[in-house]
Structure 1
Amino acid sequence: MHLTPRRLFRAVALAEAVTWALLLAAMLAKYGFDAGDLPVSVAGPVHGLAFLAYALTALVVGLDRRWPRSVTLVAVAAAVVPFATVPLERSVERRGLLDGGWATEATDDPADRTPVRRALRWMLTHPALFTVLLVATLAVVMSVLLALGPPTEWGAHAG
């Protein structure tokens, strides 16, 4: 199976929404049924990883498909609202913004000569290395976030 921008974006958008459901169920178990911290301590990092993977995917696909900045920003921000990634994915699909394969060749568009587009094309033509870089980025960001603790505690120890 060939991993197109459409397939990748759809899969990660769905995973992000599913992990929202897991996190909300875990919070219900913890606060509604006194299940303790375990459900949230498992579902929280799983959702956090899916959230970050979706945000990175939205950024990469938005750059590759040449979405307007506003569309890319809305796509990334959709991860903040529970389940919003699925209708967002459907919307960009209906508008044809996920059509085609990866843009691995430069065109006459001056934007294709920017360092960001050149780097993206290089990474897309080296998928194994690109995957390693994305996984490493996710690992570093997740490690920092896990060290910071739950978002509700950020800044609680300041001052």
Structure 2
Amino acid sequence: MATANTFTPEKLFRVFALLETITWTLLIAGMILKYAVGVGDWPVSIAGFIHGLIFIAYALQAGVVAVNQRWHLGLAALAVASAVVPYATIPTERWLARRGDLDGGWRTDATSDPRDARPLDRAFRWAIQRPIPLAGGLFVALAVIMATLLMVGPPGGKA
């Protein structure tokens, strides 16, 4: 049985849903400062960078939670897509929690479930049993994705 201090898939999802909401607020505030107050591009540049990092991190953690919880592809896509709409990650997290889609702990041990013999499940268990290297790998993925997006340029092109 999980203790109160265990960092469950539900807690991880909740933290990133909240962080995504906070960064939407920063981005919207930056846009207000840029367009309504006229302070220049810097608020959107800073808030946009932070929001972009958290958006990618949210998507990565949603993927990890989706594999752990054995969500179907549509539910995983919905969870990730909720970050595109300002403030939608919080209601999405609450909806998933009410449905029981965030229940349980990390699947670190094989069970009698035949799905546990699949290569993806075996690889996932191996990774989830090693949280520091897993976090490092996710951090590297975050850095590579963010660097690639920065090279491509901002959404809508440069102003």
Q: 2:59 — aligned with what?
A: 55
Separation in structure 1 between the aligned mates of residue 50 and residue 156 of structure 2, nearest angstrom: 17
Spell out the pairing of 1:34-53 with structure 2 (5 A cutoff): 34-53=38-57
- Unpaired runs of 5+ residues, structure 1, are none
Q: Please point out which of 15, 21, 31 is paired with 2:19.
A: 15
Amino acid at match of 2:153: G
Spell out the pairing of 1:86-105 with structure 2 (5 A cutoff): 86-105=90-109
1:114 offset after TM fit, Å? 2.3
Q: 1:137 — aligned with what?
A: 141
Correspondence 1:83 to 2:87: yes
Separation in structure 1 between the aligned mates of residue 82 and residue 71 of structure 2, nearest angstrom: 15
Deviation by residue 1:103-150 (Cα, 9 ceiling, x = unmatched): 111223332222222211111000010010011110111111112221
Separation in structure 1 between the aligned mates of residue 10 and residue 27 of structure 2, nearest angstrom: 26
- Unpaired runs of 5+ residues, structure 2, are none
* SS of the residue 2:105 aligns to: coil
1:67 offset after TM fit, Å? 1.6
Separation in structure 2 between the aligned mates of residue 8 and residue 28 of structure 1, nearest angstrom: 31
* SS of the residue 1:30 aligns to: helix
Deviation by residue 1:29-64 (Cα, 9 ceiling, x = unmatched): 111111101001100010001100111111110110
Q: Please point out which of 30, 35, 41 is paired with 1:26.
A: 30
Separation in structure 1 between the aligned mates of residue 117 and residue 39 of structure 2, nearest angstrom: 54
Which aligned runs of 4 or more in structure 1 are off by greater than 6 angstroms?
A: none
Name the % identity.
Answer: 51
TM-score (norm 1): 0.92
RMSD: 1.5
Separation in structure 2 between the aligned mates of residue 75 and residue 147 of structure 1, nearest angstrom: 27
TM-score (norm 2): 0.92
Separation in structure 2 between the aligned mates of residue 107 and residue 73 of structure 1, nearest angstrom: 27
